[in-house]
Homo-oligomer: A and B are copies of this chain.
Amino acid sequence: MDRLDSIDIRILNLLQKDSSLGVKDVSAAIGLSVSPTYERINRLKRDGFIEKYVAIVNREKIGKHLLVLCTVTLKQQSMETLVIFEQTITNFKEVLEVLCLAGNHDYLLKIAVKDVNDYHSFVLNRLSQIPNISNLQSSFVLKEIKNETAMEIV
């Protein structure tokens, strides 16, 4: 399967917002009976439209009080260097997001840690240990105004 009809789209929009909805709830919301709804949800998962179901936890409540954005520039852009960097950075559990950017910098990282001390030791002992890093620029996040996993589908 490859293309979504309007019912699929409504299902995805619902489950992106709240996947604790049961098949029954979804079927009621979209005006279809349980079994075809069940089949559609399964198909959406099987075909990779739904990657996974996850619980979103409150960052502050688990003690990750500091969010930092860090831009990274590498000394060289050889395939070898890029691969090493990407593999290493992906395995760092503090790093939530790694984006490869067009423009000035090579990468942007989003990092969640307990506090400034933790961030300092993260940069010192782990991030700056990766070879071929030419420049790091860290910006502290003062406030997380929006952080949404759901993308509205039209």
Contacts and interface: CB of A to CB of B under 8 A. Distances in A.
Interface of A: 4, 12, 15-20, 48-59, 61-64, 67, 69, 86, 89-90, 93, 95-104, 107-108, 112, 139-153
Copy number in the complex reads 2
Given A19-B19, A99-B69, A142-B102, A112 B50 contact: no
B16 A54 contact: yes
Contacts of A104: 139
Given A55-B19, A69-B108, A143 B99 contact: yes
Contacts of A58: 48-51
A150 B53 CA distance: 11
Nearest to A112: B151
B54 A17 contact: yes
Contacts of A54: 15-19, 53-54, 56, 149-150
